[in-house]
Amino acid sequence: MIDEVFIKDVVEELDLEVISGKEYLDRQVTRSVLSRPGVEIYSDYFSFYERDRIQIIGSKEYNIFLMLSDDEKQERIMNLFAGNPPAFVFTKHVSVLPEEFLNASEKYKIPILKTKQTTTPFMNNLSNFLSEALAERKSVHGVMMDVYGVGVLIIGKSSVGKSESALELVNRGHTLISDDRVIVSQKEVGIIIASSPSLTKRLMEVRGLGIVDVVDLFGVKAFRRKTRIQFVVELIEWNKEHTYSRLGIEEETHKIFDTIIPKVTIPVQPGRNISTLIEVATMNWRLKSFGRNVALDFAEKLEKIVKGDKTK
């Protein structure tokens, strides 16, 4: 599904000042890419004008506009606004907004906004926000945690112990993102963002206890609104007839949209401290990402012993 994003969402997220067109903030944004119409203002060349994008007016565009004659200014403004872009945003170093823009805002019913940021960082922040907000997303069954700074998605069948393990992790100082249902979106291939549905934000359902608010119980550090999924832990019921990996050489993966994420499978049985195992699995994955693979090192040493080579 695709969330609808409106100019009012952009204003709230990036703390923008509405200069003109406050009544037009319900205009929809459909593109995450932005436009700086310097070429259009300078040369009156609109063949490649990105009309469906938010238009950014920085100091360069502003000074180019000031160089034009009065007639040229009116012509450029008409062409800019007639394209019906979602909004115009003036950045920090534009101190005085041209009257031509303000008049066109009322005529074409397009809002004009102002940011306290300079052009480049503002465009980065706005583009990041729109990329996440407009990304394809879906809901998955699981628990999302931040464990040692790593975004860990815990999956598994109902009643396998996901929420109980997550609650223990929160008690140990780790951070909850979402319990039971996790909203996932692909910002770009390789980057999956997880967040909590607004209805269940900060909440966990624990069988026997009911619904608890982790912020009320453990403080504000117990909850984060969103994070990137870097590692997946699948909890499965222990099956004595199944042979489980002893060394952990085999690499498991989990696919979300077009992104492949490393995964580990942990069998659950009485007596196993699953929260501790999740912590260790997360730290071990982080070591692997730094190039240290203990299982492979052990296998190589074992192979040398079998071959009769001397080892340290």
Could you list the active site residues? 162, 180, 246
Three-class secondary structure assignment of 97-164 = CCHHHHHHHHHHCCCEEECCCCHHHHHHHHHHHHHHHHCCEEEEECEEEEECCEEEEEEECCCCCHHH
Is residue 115 classed exposed, middle or buried when 0-12, 13-18 and 19+ CB atoms within 10 A define those classes? buried
- For residue 225, what are its two tokens? 């609104």
Q: What are phi and psi of 219, to 5 degrees?
A: 100, 170
Bridge partners of 186, per DSSP, are 192
In single-letter form, the type of residue at position 67 comes to: M
Asked if 181 and 141 touch (Cβ cutoff 8 Å), the reply is yes
CA gap 10, 18 in Å, rounded: 11
